Amino acid sequence: MTIPSLVLAVSFLPFFEAKNTAAGFLVTPPPEGTSVTCERPSFMTRETCPACEGKGELILQEKNFGQADGRLGAGLKKRVKCAVCKGKRKLDTFLKPADLTLQVARDREKFVSDHQGRGEVPVGQAFVKPDDYEQIKGDRAKLKLIEEAYGKPCNACNWTGVEPCKKCDGNGTIPCPNDDCKGGWAVTKTKTSYTRTKSGGSSLNGGYNRGGFSSSGGSRRISRTEEKINVHVCPDCEGASLVLCPECQGRRAKPCRKCNGMGTKQKGYGL
């Protein structure tokens, strides 16, 4: 992964700062009417559909899997609505869980270095201004309160509150599950066997002979197997060759079960 691609639309920094401000109110209560919200950024985004690259439709050009041998002209060409995004061009999804993880790590690092740079004192995951710290440093109960107010990262999701979908590895799509699907085309073979009795003649004609013949008197019994290759647009992926992940419906992730999507391991204080 290249670092410049990781300019996510979300930052955890305001979240970390808001938590710190709220925890700091335990030392110096805020003026009447102050409120702080500690919401994590929204992780939902609309992303270009990977199946149609945002076109909303697919142009399916039939390839030759053997079915078109001897046929003249180009194969079937079809324009279909993209089944992955249902023609909407975009998918509602969580940001890539791996990117979120990296973003959290960066924002946390920045948060820590900003506060350390101002000479603040760490209390759990929070930072307390030097003057404030002087007031409370002997007060273990208060220190504990501050620590709990800020909270600790959930060890399953590390602040993000989401867990990547295991079925699709956080991709949102999986390769088409149809075993017969070759790049969006379902290729199946049908075999037809038949036996015919022929009288006279001297050779077995045609190129389809898989069986044999037996002679009885002047007639021959000829058994043939004809193999036919059938090609049609794959019914599972409708030509896209991938499908939305059935577990996460393309969302890549779901709220972390360990922390109920809160991102924190927190007791008591629901900040």
| Min dist. Cβ of residue 87 to Zn ion (A) | 7
60 binds Zn ion (CB under 5 A): no
Whose tokens are 């890539």? That residue is: 96
From CA 175, how far away is CA 237, in angstroms rounded?
A: 9
Specify the amino acid at residue 18: A
Q: Among 11, 178, 219, 266, which residue sits at the site for Zn ion (rule: CB under 5 A)?
A: 178
49 binds Zn ion (CB under 5 A): yes
| Min dist. Cβ of residue 47 to Zn ion (A) | 11
From CA 75, how far away is CA 62, in angstroms rounded?
A: 5
Question: Is 219 in contact with 199 (CB distance < 8 Å)?
Answer: yes
181 binds Zn ion (CB under 5 A): yes
Our CB check for Zn ion shows the closer of 78 and 210 to be 78
List, in order, residues 6 or more apart from 217 with CB less than 8 Å away. Answer: none
From CA 6, how far away is CA 172, in angstroms rounded?
A: 19
| Min dist. Cβ of residue 151 to Zn ion (A) | 11
Q: Among 165, 233, 244, 271, which residue sits at the site for Zn ion (rule: CB under 5 A)?
A: 165
Q: Which range of residues in 59-67, 135-143, 146-154, 198-206 is near Zn ion by CB under 5 A?
A: 146-154
Q: 103: part of which helix (H) or strand (E)? A: helix 97-117
Which residues of the shown chain bind Zn ion in the complex (CB under 5 A)? Answer: 49, 51-52, 82, 84-85, 154, 156-157, 165, 167-168, 176, 178, 181, 234, 236-237, 245, 247-248, 256, 258-259
